[in-house]
Amino acid sequence: MTDTEKNIPFADISEKLWNDWKWQIENRLKSIDDVVRILNPSEKILEGIRTATKHFRMAVTPYYASLADLSAAHCPIKAQAIPSEKEALFLESDMDDPLEEDRDSPVPGLTHRYPDRVLLLVTDICSMYCRHCTRRRLVGHTDHPINMKQIETAIQYIADHEEVRDVIISGGDPLTMSDEKIEKILKGLRAIPHVEIIRIGTRTPVVLPMRITPSLIKMLRKYHPLFISTHFNHAKEITPESSRACTMLADGGFPVFNQTVLLRQVNDCPHVIKELNQKLLTIRVHPYYIYQCDLSLGISHFRTSLGKGIQIIEALRGHTSGLGVPTFVVDVPGGGGKVPLMPEYVLARSDDKAVLRNYEGAITVYTEPHRWDSICGHDPACGKARYKSLKGPGMLMTKPHTVLEPTNRIID
């Protein structure tokens, strides 16, 4: 037995096998028969699985399945892991690639949207296929890794573009790959002088915590500065096993950041998010983003209003540690990138004063300075080439032009 009590069907599994991440992947629940044998679901749940899996695959690690309560109306584990008939409902607003990652892909497997960073997709495999996945057009259709030649081509693109200083490795889940293959990718990126930081996006600490092994930590430590982005959505996912995995990562010197997705009837409550973020801090995971659920195919039942996300931030700001207040963002359709949304705290402004409110609703006046000159434009850093390539509204702040068209062409 492990720290998290296993369901009865798993009781005869030895501790050695249960803690073997490869065994967990090999024994994922991938069919109706698996779900019936392990979880004994109701006929209604089975019918939902049959309907949804006509369109999207299912795979759940035994560990994560052991946390589910299929009898509960709103079990957050069940909602994220077990397919539902709602996934077969496609709305007119649903999109195959809502973030236009393919459009911004100069070479296969790489998205270059922001000026100084790229997204490198190294696998289509996840240990669990989350029901709210935004990249379900790519992930989970097969269990075959991406050809290493494609990854090498993407790494060569990064090497050829000196403006890229930040690489986010994602997929699928990179940590479903072997230590050796992960290291080959990291070694290739670290050989590029202008790549300053590397991030790995992974949900294994949440759904497959036994993947975080001493040998993995030892290998990753060679490639600092390395950041880990993970994906807890509910405090129920913070178990002794997932806590241990995050502790190992933190002890290895890797800053660990969490990216929660706002999901209706899973975590769309200020109290639920507050509890999650406070518990994340106790295991040294920093709440980084709350994402508005994307417009991907078959996940409309998970989406909330934007107002719900703003309400949650309102309930966090000032009511808990600032470390526990993430940024609420919408990754806007059409490839526009992340747009942050927050409550309005500036009530009015004049040339010399601003009227502000605090988290309690108290209203105060802040007096503006009477001098407006700044170091900007005089500091040598402002003359560097990379600062001359500003796009968007920032251009209007630094250049004597008056109109910025959506194409970023300036009209004098």
- Which residues are bridge partners to 261 per DSSP? 291
From the candidates 30, 57, 113, 357, give the one annotated as an active-site residue.
113
From the candidates 133, 236, 274, 291, give the one annotated as an active-site residue.
133
> What's the whole-number mean pLDDT along residues 155-178?
96
Note whether residue 296 is domain-resident: yes
pLDDT of amino acid 77: 97
**255 and 333, same domain (yes or no):** yes
pTM: 0.90
From the candidates 86, 114, 190, 223, give the one annotated as an active-site residue.
114
**226 and 258, same domain (yes or no):** yes
pLDDT of amino acid 407: 63
CB atoms near residue 143 (< 10 Å): 16
Active site residue 114: yes
Note whether residue 17 is domain-resident: yes
**309 and 350, same domain (yes or no):** no
Report how far residue 406's alpha carbon sits from residue 295's, in angstroms, rounded to the nearest whole number. Answer: 23
pLDDT of amino acid 155: 98
> What's the whole-number mean pLDDT along residues 222-227?
98
CB atoms near residue 93 (< 10 Å): 10
**26 and 121, same domain (yes or no):** no
Half-sphere exposure of 203 (CA within 13 A, CB side): 23
Q: Which two tokens stand for residue 23?
A: 């065994």
Label residue 378 by pLDDT band (50, 70, 90): low
Task: Quote the mean pLDDT of the chain.
Answer: 90
**127 and 36, same domain (yes or no):** no
Tally of domains in the chain: 4
Note whether residue 270 is domain-resident: yes
From the candidates 28, 131, 135, 279, give the one annotated as an active-site residue.
135
CATH code: domain of residue 224: 3.20.20.70
Active site residue 126: yes
Active site residue 199: no
Lowest mean pLDDT among 144-158, 342-356, 375-389: 375-389
Note whether residue 99 is domain-resident: no
Active site residue 391: no
**188 and 264, same domain (yes or no):** yes
Note whether residue 142 is domain-resident: yes
From the candidates 75, 126, 246, 293, give the one annotated as an active-site residue.
126
Q: Which two tokens stand for residue 227?
A: 């950041």
**349 and 337, same domain (yes or no):** no
pLDDT of amino acid 7: 56
From the candidates 6, 124, 130, 199, give the one annotated as an active-site residue.
130
**233 and 310, same domain (yes or no):** yes
Active site residue 133: yes
From the candidates 117, 211, 264, 274, give the one annotated as an active-site residue.
117
Report which DSSP code applies to 31. S
**224 and 118, same domain (yes or no):** yes
Active site residue 135: yes
Active site residue 130: yes
pLDDT at 384 over 80: no
Could you list the residue range(s) of the whole structural domain that residue 395 is in? 380-411
> What's the whole-number mean pLDDT along residues 277-300?
95
pLDDT at 263 over 70: yes
Active site residue 246: no
pLDDT of amino acid 408: 54
pLDDT at 102 over 90: no
Beta strand pairing call for 285-292 and 256-262: parallel
